[in-house]
Amino acid sequence: QGGNNAGHTVVVDGKEYDFHLFPSGIINPKAISFIGKTISELTKSNNITWWVAATIFCRLKDWEKRLIISDRAHIVFDFHQAVDGLQEVQRQAQEGKNIGTTKKGIGPTYSSKAARTGLRICDLLSDFDEFSSRFKNLAQQYKSMFPTLEVDIEGQLKKLKGYAEKIRPMVRDGVYFMYEALHGSPKKILVEGANAALLDIDFGTYPFVTSSNCTVGGVCTGLGVPPQHVGDVYGVVKAYTTRVGIGAFPTEQINEIGDLLQSRGHEWGVTTGRKRRCGWLDLVILKYAHMINGFTALALTKLDILDVLDEIKIGVAYKLGGKRIPYFP
């Protein structure tokens, strides 16, 4: 999923669950849930203590027996989250606008990953002295970049050592796990993505995007699944368009229509609690998402939200320089 910056609200048997890092399949006692080569948030109480969150809020039984975490998953630390907030303040001061991140530390963690200074679950579970040394170096790097940043290094390491032992039984070699799942006894494998196609780091409305690949390519890069194993690709799209945070939104309705869609659709960001911006369905971005992902089917949701409207509008084309264009610019 790329981290706990996105959320899914799932209702099963009348019970509502808000998921951020857990795969939604954790509700199903017959399913094995796997967190792959994405970002594991280990130290903040909002998603871990997983043990507390899963047991108390979800009232799930034996969930830890059906959750597997890849040893290659990168770890988001407290200072990554703090830096995420500091960077937003910096952008606002320097450019007069920010990106509108969820401040969950995902961007800085991917930066550490790309700089080859990131730390993974396998590092946490092997030589803790080596892990501690690299953790201190990474923290110092960020402290030198952001002088106001405060990091309780010893306190964090103590917490992380405790977490390491709790998650150790859940951790597997993720690539081998997926290989066995694909080539062993026949299984139904569902890969769940968070964030929309237009928030993809490469193909989204850059720079107002997330830091991961949330298009179908993320199945391969996130789990180590070869492309030939990707079968059906389901695009999930609302009957209208929404967006949380800043970025281009040609069909946005900043009026009573937008307010109606927002209120009837209960359009609040699951992670941030921010109101979602709402507007008419934009077929241009839907076609663009299809170009990249090659949907074999579309799941159209929230059609009933439009029931009270006498007239429904749909965005069908873009103009650039006064001329109609056949692509997403």
What does the alpha-carbon distance between residue 181 and residue 172 come to, in Å, rounded to a whole number?
13
At residue 143, φ and ψ (nearest 5 deg) are: -65, -35
- The yes-or-no answer on residue 113 being catalytic is yes
Residues 314, 215, 264: CA angle, nearest 5 degrees: 40
Judge residue 114's burial from the number of C-beta atoms within 10 Å of its C-beta, 0-12 exposed, 13-18 middle, 19 or more buried. exposed
Contact 249, 279 (CB under 8 A): yes
User: How does 283-302 read in b/e, with b if 16+ C-beta sit within 10 Å?
Assistant: bbbbebbbebbebeeeeeeb
Active-site residue among 113, 136, 143, 302? 113
Tell whether the torsion through CA atoms of 248, 252, 255 and 261 is positive or negative: negative
SS3 assignment, position 250: coil
Instruction: Give the residue among 211, 222, 235 at the shortest CA–CA distance from 294.
Output: 235
Which ranges in the chain belong to alpha helices (H)?
50-52, 78-95, 106-114, 121-125, 128-145, 153-167, 174-183, 217-223, 256-264, 283-293
Active site residues: 113
